[in-house]
Amino acid sequence: MKHTTLLLFSISLMLSIICSPEAQARPLPEGDTGTSTPQGAYYTGKYRNLFNEYLGTSQQETDRKIEQIWNHFFVNEETRVYYESDDNTAYIYDTGNRDVRTEGVSYGMMICVQLDKQAEFDKLWRWAKKHMLYTSGKWSGYFAWQCRTNGDKIGKEPSCASDGEIYFITALFFASHRWGDDGAFNYSLEAQKILKDIMSKDGSQGIYSLFNTDSKLVTFVPQNEMWHYTDPSYNLPAFFELWAMWSVTNKEFWKQTPDAARRLLVNASHKQTGLFPDYSAFDGSPLQPRWKKDYDAKRYQFDAIRCAMNVGMDYYWFGKDAANQTDMMTRLLNFFKQDNYVHGQFNLDGSAPAGGYSAGMAGANAVGAFALKDKNLAKEYLQRLWDEPLPTGRFRYYNGMVYMLSVLHVSGNFRIIK
């Protein structure tokens, strides 16, 4: 009888704990939906070197390639795009357009934090804050997307370009976690301020918050009609997952943005070719703005090459939309193989091919190969990237930065720095 009473008491105690409000309110482990075991690198801490997996490349060979690429773009006089100024600042030079863009400076910062190059990171961030950041006026809190090498803004009041802010914020969070906040910059405070500022606009003077509050999607430019459509390559669900966890403002809003970005990428990807448009409506349909006169933004062109990199990164970091991402990348990478890696621009159905298959495309598509189930196809893309010559010449900047980011991804050197 005593044993029975003790057993009943133990069961009663266990039930009271399980059913208590405290136990019911206890959250699941971060990223756990309660229905599946997360497999992404965020949860496992494991970052795959696809060069090693598919090509048998040693870690030493991989490290040498990373060092060669760093020297090519950041050190060597003839091929670099990184330039230091006399005031302890530095910029990434768009060699094609002969200017400096938030896209390039923020990419440079991300490369530096991934490779533990704090001195170069700080110089780039100091240049961005000194010359690009608006500290007053209707654009206050945003960064002018285009400047001359002397720091002057190009045009009377250039708008921001949303991808620059996105990479600035994420790179600063990583810098805080890697180097701490007691040096030249309080990186975390800087990231949090931008996150707050970009969601503080109400449409006054035609300037809105960076994300459309109805669609939960990043806008092409948060100004006038451009607030009502997006650029698929600006949609970085893996970054937005981190913001939702690390932001101290607008947390409920940020929690809605990763899945919105994932849906946009799925909807924008053509159902036969997998190709993405440069610009799209919020439903993913290709869009040509009235002001766009230099080329057809409904086609797969220059911006769109980055979509494969965004999808592949989200697949291997979080894996929350794995089936759709595998489907998209299988279509896309089979399409380029069927084109024999010749062209770089297409209508979304694959017609009207033009331009050339670039080093940036070789890189971004190799990141997309993370999502492939076809191992032979993945190996083909990894081999092509490994063999790709380093971009040189006038147009080495954009292709080169996308190429370098991509090599960091597939070599296991592009990590969530917690």
Q: Residues with Cβ < 8 Å from 180, sequence gap 6 or more?
A: none
Q: Residues with Cβ < 8 Å from 116, sequence gap 6 or more?
A: 178
What integer pLDDT is reported at residue 22 of this predicted model? 31
Domains of the chain, earliest start first: 50-55+259-412 (1.50.10.10)
Comparing CA positions, the residue from 355, 336, 337, 335 lying closest to residue 345 is: 355
pLDDT one-digit tens code per residue, 86-132: 999 999 999 999 999 999 999 999 999 999 999 999 999 999 999 99
Q: Which amino acid is at 288?
A: Q
Angle ∠(121,408,327) on CA atoms, nearest 5:
130
Taking the C-alpha atoms of residue 149 and residue 227, their distance in angstroms, rounded to an integer, is 29
- Pick the catalytic residue: 120, 190, 231, 303? 303
Comparing CA positions, the residue from 349, 381, 352, 351 lying closest to residue 367 is: 381
What integer pLDDT is reported at residue 2 of this predicted model? 38
Taking the C-alpha atoms of residue 418 and residue 177, their distance in angstroms, rounded to an integer, is 6
Taking the C-alpha atoms of residue 148 and residue 161, their distance in angstroms, rounded to an integer, is 16
Number of residues that this document lists for the chain: 418
Comparing CA positions, the residue from 246, 220, 358 lying closest to residue 301 is: 358
Q: Are strands 90-94 and 146-147 parallel, antiparallel or unpaired?
A: unpaired
Comparing CA positions, the residue from 139, 153, 136, 141 lying closest to residue 100 is: 153
Active site includes 303? yes
Q: Residues with Cβ < 8 Å from 27, sequence gap 6 or more?
A: none
Q: Do residues 134 and 124 make contact, with C-beta atoms less than 8 angstroms apart? A: no
Q: Do residues 257 and 244 make contact, with C-beta atoms less than 8 angstroms apart? A: yes
- Pick the catalytic residue: 94, 103, 241, 388? 103
Joined tokens for residue 228 = 């009502």
Q: Which amino acid is at 79?
A: T
CA distances (Å), origin 333, targets 2, 50, 369, 406, 408: 69, 16, 8, 15, 20
For the chain, list residues with pLDDT below 50.
Answer: 1-37
Q: Do residues 275 and 348 make contact, with C-beta atoms less than 8 angstroms apart? A: yes
pLDDT one-digit tens code per residue, 186-218: 999 999 999 999 999 999 999 999 999 999 999
Taking the C-alpha atoms of residue 234 and residue 403, their distance in angstroms, rounded to an integer, is 17
Q: How large is the C-alpha radius of gyration of the chain?
A: 23
Tokens 């017609």 correspond to: 351
Question: Between the CA atoms of 325, 312, 40 and 28, what dihedral angle is there, to the nearest 10 degrees?
Answer: -60
Taking the C-alpha atoms of residue 23 and residue 194, their distance in angstroms, rounded to an integer, is 36
pTM of the entire structure? Answer: 0.91
What integer pLDDT is reported at residue 55 of this predicted model? 98
Alpha carbon 52 to chain centroid distance?
A: 24
